[in-house]
């Protein structure tokens, strides 16, 4: 029997409560998730973020799903960190298309001292363009967190990926507690946390419930929770997992996340190329209200922006602050030479 009131903010979830939510009849689950969603958000508005790869390949971690790990053999070449001007150019394009946040990712276990000042500069210039900023750089020292806070970073992404029990099957070079410690540092600094998971790595239904319980029982729920559908990449240990996850199971995770974390932005992230428009529509009905927008997510494919816009039009969904962002983006695009001089 439920020990919570639908829509309340709760931090003492049990795994049985979460499994009861996730396992109920599909129509009931979607109805409850949509009810909670309408308590806290505009049901016909979606926040859009664009993801930029600022440093590719050569990561020391052994994440089984990742083409950027130096321990995997995906054929991805190690590249140096990109220049700040390139980030500005991509930020301008993202804003002109209507994105409100630029997420910048680097394939690091943790940032090195040589490149970190350039990362701080990227945060500053992207904020000057009027976009929210997000970074994913791996583990951080206390000093680096303080510097990011001073630079004005809005969000820091650090995914838990899966349950604590299943985690060692996916990653061995960094512990689950390491990830929780990094998230705690970020939250204590006042920077918003973005943290999510990956569905379809061989984990069980109970692992998905346990992952959501971990998020739901944080002293502050993550501000954004990206739910990824595994994209199996040749040369990685999980390449054989293609097509192993039912889309209805994925939608159940989305809807359950919405009920467990009523005020959190729940984001459709990697793997949308394997979801039909109808499946994505059910995700939005189930409380998803954020997407990665643009044709590339670090090293994997993503639906083209034009396709997303057509889907939104069919569903009557508007992009958050879309008109304002596009107008400002066009104006800033005309000033690109001046801004990057």
User: By the 8 A CB rule, do 298 and 105 touch?
Assistant: yes
- Cα angle value 211/184/320 (rounded, 5°): 70
User: In angstroms, rounded to a whole number, what is the distance separating the alpha carbons of residues 237 and 220?
Assistant: 34
CB-based contact 21:263 (threshold 8 Å): no
- In the chain the beta strands, taken as DSSP E runs, fall at 45-55, 101-106, 132-136, 155-157, 192-194, 197-199, 224-229, 265-268, 290-292, 296-297, 300-301, 318-319
Residues 138 and 89: their CA atoms lie apart, in Å, by 24
Closest CA to 214 of 196, 200, 187, 193: 196
| Catalytic choice (97, 101, 267, 272) | 267
The catalytically annotated residue of 19, 63, 174, 213 is 63
> Which of 174, 179, 194, 258 is labelled catalytic?
194
State how far the alpha carbon of 73 is from the alpha carbons of 77, 81, 214, 275, in Å.
10, 21, 32, 27
Please indicate whether residue 283 is annotated as part of the active site. Answer: no
Q: What is the 3-state secondary structure (H, E, C) of 231-283?
A: CCCCCCCCHHHCCCCCHHHHHHHHHHHHHHCCCCEEEECCCHHHCCHHHHHHH
Catalytic, 103? Answer yes
Catalytic residue flag (residue 63): yes
Tell me which H or E stretch contains 324: helix 322-334
> Which residue carries 């379809």 as its tokens?
200
> Could you say which of 19, 97, 101, 134 is catalytic?
134
Q: Which of 19, 97, 101, 103 is labelled catalytic?
A: 103
Q: How far apart are the C-alpha atoms of 216 and 221, rounded to whole Å?
A: 6
Which letter, b or e, does each residue of 312-341 get, where b requires 16 or more Cβ atoms within 10 Å of its Cβ? beeeebebbbbeebbebbeebeeeeeebee
Q: How far apart are the first and last CA of the chain?
A: 63
Instruction: Point out the residues that are catalytic.
Output: 59, 63, 66, 103, 134, 194, 267
């Amino acid at each position: 029997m439920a020990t919570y009131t639908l829509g309340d903010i709760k931090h003492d979830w049990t795994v049985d409560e979460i499994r009861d939510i996730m396992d109920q009849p599909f129509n009931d689950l979607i109805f409850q998730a949509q009810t909670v969603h309408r308590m806290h958000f505009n049901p016909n508005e979606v926040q859009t973020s664009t993801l930029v790869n600022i440093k590719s390949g050569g990561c020391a971690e052994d994440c089984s799903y990742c083409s950027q790990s130096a321990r995997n053999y995906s054929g991805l070449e190690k590249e140096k960190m990109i220049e700040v001007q390139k980030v500005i150019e991509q930020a301008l394009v993202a804003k002109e298309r209507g994105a409100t946040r630029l997420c910048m990712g680097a394939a690091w276990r943790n940032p090195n001292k040589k490149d970190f000042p350039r990362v701080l500069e990227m945060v500053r210039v992207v904020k000057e363009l009027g976009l929210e900023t997000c970074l994913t750089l791996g583990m951080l020292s206390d000093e680096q967190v303080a510097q990011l806070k001073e630079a004005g970073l809005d969000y820091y992404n650090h995914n838990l990926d899966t349950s604590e029990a299943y985690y060692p099957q996916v990653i061995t070079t960094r512990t689950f507690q390491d990830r929780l410690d990094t998230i705690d540092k970020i939250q204590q600094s006042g920077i918003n946390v973005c943290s999510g998971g990956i569905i379809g790595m061989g984990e069980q239904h109970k692992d998905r419930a346990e992952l959501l319980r971990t998020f739901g029982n944080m002293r502050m729920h993550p501000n954004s929770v990206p739910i990824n559908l595994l994209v199996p990449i040749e040369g990685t240990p999980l390449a054989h997992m293609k097509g192993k996850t039912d889309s209805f199971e994925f939608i159940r995770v989305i809807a359950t996340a919405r009920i467990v974390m009523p005020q959190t932005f729940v984001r459709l992230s990697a793997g949308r190329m394997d979801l039909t428009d109808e499946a994505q529509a059910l995700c939005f009905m189930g409380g998803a209200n954020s997407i990665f927008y643009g044709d590339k997510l670090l090293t994997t494919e993503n639906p083209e922006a034009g396709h997303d816009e057509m889907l939104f039009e069919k569903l009557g969904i508007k992009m958050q602050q879309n008109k304002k962002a596009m107008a400002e983006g066009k104006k800033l695009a005309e000033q690109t030479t001046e801004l990057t001089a």
